[in-house]
Protein backbone atom coordinates (compact mmCIF):
# COMPACT_ATOMS: atom_id res chain seq x y z
CA UNK A 1 0.00 0.00 0.00
CA UNK A 2 1.40 3.29 -1.08
CA UNK A 3 -0.23 6.60 -0.25
CA UNK A 4 0.81 9.83 -1.92
CA UNK A 5 -0.15 13.04 -0.17
CA UNK A 6 -0.02 16.19 -2.25
CA UNK A 7 1.02 19.23 -0.22
CA UNK A 8 0.82 22.84 -1.21
CA UNK A 9 2.47 25.89 0.31
CA UNK A 10 0.02 28.77 0.57
CA UNK A 11 0.46 32.29 1.95
CA UNK A 12 -0.07 32.50 5.69
CA UNK A 13 -3.36 34.36 5.89
CA UNK A 14 -2.25 36.31 8.96
CA UNK A 15 0.04 38.28 6.67
CA UNK A 16 -1.07 41.43 4.98
CA UNK A 17 -1.37 40.58 1.31
CA UNK A 18 -0.42 42.97 -1.40
CA UNK A 19 -0.72 42.67 -5.14
CA UNK A 20 2.10 43.03 -7.59
CA UNK A 21 2.19 46.30 -9.47
CA UNK A 22 0.61 44.80 -12.58
CA UNK A 23 -2.16 43.36 -10.41
CA UNK A 24 -1.93 39.81 -11.73
CA UNK A 25 -0.51 38.07 -8.68
CA UNK A 26 0.20 38.40 -4.98
CA UNK A 27 3.41 40.11 -4.10
CA UNK A 28 5.13 37.02 -2.80
CA UNK A 29 8.40 38.58 -1.81
CA UNK A 30 7.73 39.20 1.89
CA UNK A 31 4.98 36.67 2.34
CA UNK A 32 5.32 33.82 4.77
CA UNK A 33 4.12 30.47 3.45
CA UNK A 34 2.52 27.64 5.36
CA UNK A 35 1.12 24.27 4.37
CA UNK A 36 -2.47 24.40 3.15
CA UNK A 37 -4.51 23.44 6.21
CA UNK A 38 -6.64 20.92 4.27
CA UNK A 39 -3.51 19.25 3.00
CA UNK A 40 -2.47 18.88 6.66
CA UNK A 41 -5.72 17.02 7.18
CA UNK A 42 -4.97 14.78 4.20
CA UNK A 43 -1.52 14.04 5.60
CA UNK A 44 -2.99 13.17 8.98
CA UNK A 45 -5.52 10.80 7.40
CA UNK A 46 -2.69 9.12 5.49
CA UNK A 47 -0.63 8.75 8.66
CA UNK A 48 -3.62 7.30 10.50
CA UNK A 49 -3.96 4.72 7.72
CA UNK A 50 -0.26 3.99 8.02
CA UNK A 51 -0.66 3.53 11.78
CA UNK A 52 -3.60 1.16 11.43
CA UNK A 53 -2.90 -0.79 8.23
CA UNK A 54 0.72 -0.16 7.45
CA UNK A 55 1.48 1.84 4.35
CA UNK A 56 4.24 3.79 2.73
CA UNK A 57 3.38 7.47 2.88
CA UNK A 58 5.03 9.75 0.34
CA UNK A 59 4.71 13.51 0.81
CA UNK A 60 4.71 15.32 -2.53
CA UNK A 61 5.27 19.03 -3.11
CA UNK A 62 5.96 21.27 -6.07
CA UNK A 63 9.56 22.39 -6.32
CA UNK A 64 8.51 25.96 -7.12
CA UNK A 65 6.34 26.41 -4.02
CA UNK A 66 8.05 28.72 -1.53
CA UNK A 67 9.23 27.05 1.70
CA UNK A 68 7.92 23.68 0.49
CA UNK A 69 10.95 21.91 1.99
CA UNK A 70 9.81 22.98 5.42
CA UNK A 71 6.41 21.39 4.84
CA UNK A 72 7.98 18.20 3.53
CA UNK A 73 10.49 17.86 6.38
CA UNK A 74 7.71 18.43 8.79
CA UNK A 75 5.64 15.70 7.06
CA UNK A 76 8.54 13.27 7.42
CA UNK A 77 8.94 14.26 11.08
CA UNK A 78 5.32 13.37 11.61
CA UNK A 79 5.78 9.95 10.07
CA UNK A 80 5.82 10.15 6.26
CA UNK A 81 8.36 7.75 4.77
CA UNK A 82 9.58 9.84 1.90
CA UNK A 83 9.33 13.31 0.47
CA UNK A 84 9.48 14.38 -3.18
CA UNK A 85 9.46 17.70 -4.98
CA UNK A 86 8.28 17.87 -8.55
CA UNK A 87 9.69 20.41 -10.94
CA UNK A 88 8.19 21.16 -14.28
CA UNK A 89 4.74 22.62 -13.68
CA UNK A 90 4.15 25.40 -16.14
CA UNK A 91 1.99 27.72 -14.10
CA UNK A 92 0.68 28.39 -10.65
CA UNK A 93 -2.87 27.39 -11.43
CA UNK A 94 -4.44 24.20 -10.21
CA UNK A 95 -4.76 22.44 -13.55
CA UNK A 96 -1.13 22.74 -14.31
CA UNK A 97 -0.29 21.47 -10.84
CA UNK A 98 -2.62 18.55 -11.39
CA UNK A 99 -0.97 17.79 -14.70
CA UNK A 100 2.48 17.80 -13.13
CA UNK A 101 1.45 15.58 -10.25
CA UNK A 102 -0.35 13.23 -12.62
CA UNK A 103 2.73 12.99 -14.80
CA UNK A 104 4.83 12.07 -11.77
CA UNK A 105 2.26 9.56 -10.50
CA UNK A 106 2.25 7.78 -13.84
CA UNK A 107 5.84 6.74 -13.18
CA UNK A 108 5.41 6.42 -9.43
CA UNK A 109 1.99 4.88 -9.00
CA UNK A 110 0.22 5.07 -5.64
CA UNK A 111 -2.78 3.11 -4.38
CA UNK A 112 -4.27 6.18 -2.80
CA UNK A 113 -3.68 9.79 -3.63
CA UNK A 114 -4.81 12.19 -0.93
CA UNK A 115 -4.94 15.92 -1.02
CA UNK A 116 -6.84 18.60 0.82
CA UNK A 117 -10.34 19.10 -0.52
CA UNK A 118 -9.50 22.73 -1.22
CA UNK A 119 -6.96 25.45 -0.60
CA UNK A 120 -7.22 29.18 0.08
CA UNK A 121 -6.31 29.72 -3.56
CA UNK A 122 -8.36 26.76 -4.83
CA UNK A 123 -11.61 27.25 -2.96
CA UNK A 124 -13.64 25.28 -5.45
CA UNK A 125 -11.41 22.30 -4.86
CA UNK A 126 -10.29 21.49 -8.38
CA UNK A 127 -7.09 19.69 -7.61
CA UNK A 128 -8.45 16.28 -6.55
CA UNK A 129 -10.98 16.25 -9.38
CA UNK A 130 -8.46 17.32 -12.00
CA UNK A 131 -6.01 14.79 -10.73
CA UNK A 132 -8.58 11.99 -10.92
CA UNK A 133 -9.46 13.01 -14.45
CA UNK A 134 -5.85 13.24 -15.57
CA UNK A 135 -5.07 9.80 -14.17
CA UNK A 136 -8.36 8.21 -15.14
CA UNK A 137 -8.98 7.17 -11.56
CA UNK A 138 -12.08 7.32 -9.39
CA UNK A 139 -12.26 10.45 -7.29
CA UNK A 140 -14.19 11.41 -4.16
CA UNK A 141 -14.05 14.79 -2.46
CA UNK A 142 -15.22 16.21 0.85
CA UNK A 143 -14.05 13.02 2.52
CA UNK A 144 -14.06 12.88 6.32
CA UNK A 145 -12.76 9.37 6.93
CA UNK A 146 -11.05 6.60 5.05
CA UNK A 147 -10.90 2.90 5.88
CA UNK A 148 -9.06 0.33 3.82
CA UNK A 149 -10.83 -2.82 2.76
CA UNK A 150 -8.64 -5.01 0.59
CA UNK A 151 -8.50 -3.60 -2.91
CA UNK A 152 -11.05 -0.94 -2.03
CA UNK A 153 -11.50 1.89 0.40
CA UNK A 154 -14.60 2.81 2.30
CA UNK A 155 -14.76 6.54 2.43
CA UNK A 156 -17.24 8.79 4.13
CA UNK A 157 -18.29 11.73 2.04
CA UNK A 158 -19.96 14.60 3.79
CA UNK A 159 -22.88 16.60 2.41
CA UNK A 160 -24.46 19.72 3.72
CA UNK A 161 -26.71 19.62 6.72
CA UNK A 162 -24.66 16.98 8.48
CA UNK A 163 -25.60 14.15 6.10
CA UNK A 164 -22.96 11.76 4.88
CA UNK A 165 -22.60 8.66 2.75
CA UNK A 166 -20.21 5.78 2.99
CA UNK A 167 -18.84 4.98 -0.45
CA UNK A 168 -16.91 1.97 -1.59
CA UNK A 169 -14.14 3.06 -3.92
CA UNK A 170 -11.95 0.75 -5.92
CA UNK A 171 -8.27 1.49 -5.58
CA UNK A 172 -6.29 3.21 -6.85
CA UNK A 173 -8.27 6.36 -6.25
CA UNK A 174 -7.91 10.08 -5.58
CA UNK A 175 -9.50 11.54 -2.45
CA UNK A 176 -10.02 15.16 -1.46
CA UNK A 177 -9.92 15.24 2.33
CA UNK A 178 -12.09 17.68 4.20
CA UNK A 179 -11.01 16.67 7.66
CA UNK A 180 -9.04 13.79 9.15
CA UNK A 181 -10.42 11.51 11.83
CA UNK A 182 -8.06 13.17 14.31
CA UNK A 183 -6.62 16.64 14.60
CA UNK A 184 -3.31 16.80 12.74
CA UNK A 185 -0.47 15.70 14.95
CA UNK A 186 2.31 17.98 16.15
CA UNK A 187 5.76 17.90 14.60
CA UNK A 188 8.22 18.65 17.42
CA UNK A 189 10.89 21.03 16.20
CA UNK A 190 13.67 18.77 17.46
CA UNK A 191 12.35 15.99 15.24
CA UNK A 192 11.98 18.28 12.26
CA UNK A 193 15.54 19.40 12.74
CA UNK A 194 16.75 15.82 13.00
CA UNK A 195 14.88 15.00 9.80
CA UNK A 196 16.52 17.94 8.07
CA UNK A 197 19.88 16.42 8.96
CA UNK A 198 19.07 12.86 8.03
CA UNK A 199 16.59 13.02 5.15
CA UNK A 200 17.07 14.06 1.59
CA UNK A 201 14.08 15.18 -0.38
CA UNK A 202 13.89 13.37 -3.72
CA UNK A 203 13.77 15.67 -6.69
CA UNK A 204 11.73 14.67 -9.66
CA UNK A 205 11.03 16.63 -12.78
CA UNK A 206 8.29 16.09 -15.28
CA UNK A 207 7.45 17.48 -18.66
CA UNK A 208 4.04 19.11 -18.79
CA UNK A 209 2.61 20.44 -21.91
CA UNK A 210 1.78 24.15 -22.05
CA UNK A 211 -1.83 23.46 -22.88
CA UNK A 212 -2.37 22.00 -19.43
CA UNK A 213 -2.69 25.45 -17.94
CA UNK A 214 -6.36 26.20 -17.98
CA UNK A 215 -6.45 29.82 -17.01
CA UNK A 216 -4.54 33.03 -17.29
CA UNK A 217 -4.90 35.70 -14.60
CA UNK A 218 -5.75 39.07 -16.03
CA UNK A 219 -6.35 41.04 -12.88
CA UNK A 220 -6.63 40.44 -9.15
CA UNK A 221 -8.59 42.55 -6.70
CA UNK A 222 -8.05 43.04 -2.98
CA UNK A 223 -11.19 42.22 -1.01
CA UNK A 224 -13.50 45.15 -0.52
CA UNK A 225 -13.53 46.49 2.98
CA UNK A 226 -16.87 45.80 4.58
CA UNK A 227 -18.08 47.82 7.51
CA UNK A 228 -21.26 46.08 8.42
CA UNK A 229 -20.50 45.58 12.07
CA UNK A 230 -23.32 46.68 14.29
CA UNK A 231 -22.57 47.38 17.93
CA UNK A 232 -25.48 46.43 20.15
CA UNK A 233 -26.00 48.54 23.23
CA UNK A 234 -28.41 48.15 26.10
CA UNK A 235 -29.24 45.84 28.95
CA UNK A 236 -28.45 42.14 28.56
CA UNK A 237 -32.14 41.49 27.83
CA UNK A 238 -32.27 44.14 25.12
CA UNK A 239 -29.06 42.88 23.56
CA UNK A 240 -30.40 39.34 23.56
CA UNK A 241 -33.67 40.46 21.99
CA UNK A 242 -31.83 42.29 19.22
CA UNK A 243 -29.63 39.22 18.52
CA UNK A 244 -32.69 37.00 18.27
CA UNK A 245 -34.33 39.50 15.95
CA UNK A 246 -31.27 39.57 13.70
CA UNK A 247 -31.03 35.80 13.59
CA UNK A 248 -34.72 35.54 12.69
CA UNK A 249 -34.63 38.26 10.09
CA UNK A 250 -31.77 36.54 8.30
CA UNK A 251 -33.42 33.15 8.57
CA UNK A 252 -30.50 31.78 10.54
CA UNK A 253 -32.82 30.12 13.04
CA UNK A 254 -36.25 28.59 12.60
CA UNK A 255 -39.36 29.89 14.26
The footprint of other proteins (CB under 8 A) covers 12, 14-16, 30, 32, 34, 183, 185-186, 188-193
Provide the minimum distance between the beta carbon of 24 and other proteins in the complex, in angstroms, as a whole number.
23
Residue among 13 and 215 whose Cβ is closer to other proteins: 13
Listed in sequence order, the DSSP H helices in 167-233 are 189-198
Residue among 121 and 186 whose Cβ is closer to other proteins: 186
Provide the minimum distance between the beta carbon of 144 and other proteins in the complex, in angstroms, as a whole number.
18
Q: With left for phi above 0 and alpha for psi between -120 and 50, is residue 11 left, alpha or beta?
A: beta
187 within 8 A of 78, measured Cβ to Cβ: yes
Residue among 28 and 32 whose Cβ is closer to other proteins: 32
Residue among 139 and 191 whose Cβ is closer to other proteins: 191
Provide the minimum distance between the beta carbon of 194 and other proteins in the complex, in angstroms, as a whole number.
9
Provide the minimum distance between the beta carbon of 190 and other proteins in the complex, in angstroms, as a whole number.
3
Exposed/middle/buried for residue 25 (C-beta within 10 Å: 0-12, 13-18, 19+): exposed
54 in helix, strand or coil?
coil
Provide the minimum distance between the beta carbon of 30 and other proteins in the complex, in angstroms, as a whole number.
7
Q: Which residues, in sequence order, are bridge partners of residue 112?
A: 3, 173
Residue among 198 and 251 whose Cβ is closer to other proteins: 198
* Residues in Cβ contact with 63 at an 8 Å cutoff, skipping those fewer than 6 apart: 85, 86, 87, 88, 203, 205
Amino acid sequence: MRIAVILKAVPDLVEEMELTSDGTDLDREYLKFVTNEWDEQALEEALLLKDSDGAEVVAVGMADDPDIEQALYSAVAKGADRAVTIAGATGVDTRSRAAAVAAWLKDNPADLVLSGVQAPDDLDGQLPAALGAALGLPHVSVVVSVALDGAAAIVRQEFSGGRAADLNVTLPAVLGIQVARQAPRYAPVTRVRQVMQSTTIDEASVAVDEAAAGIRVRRMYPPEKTTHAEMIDGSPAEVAARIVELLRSRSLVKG
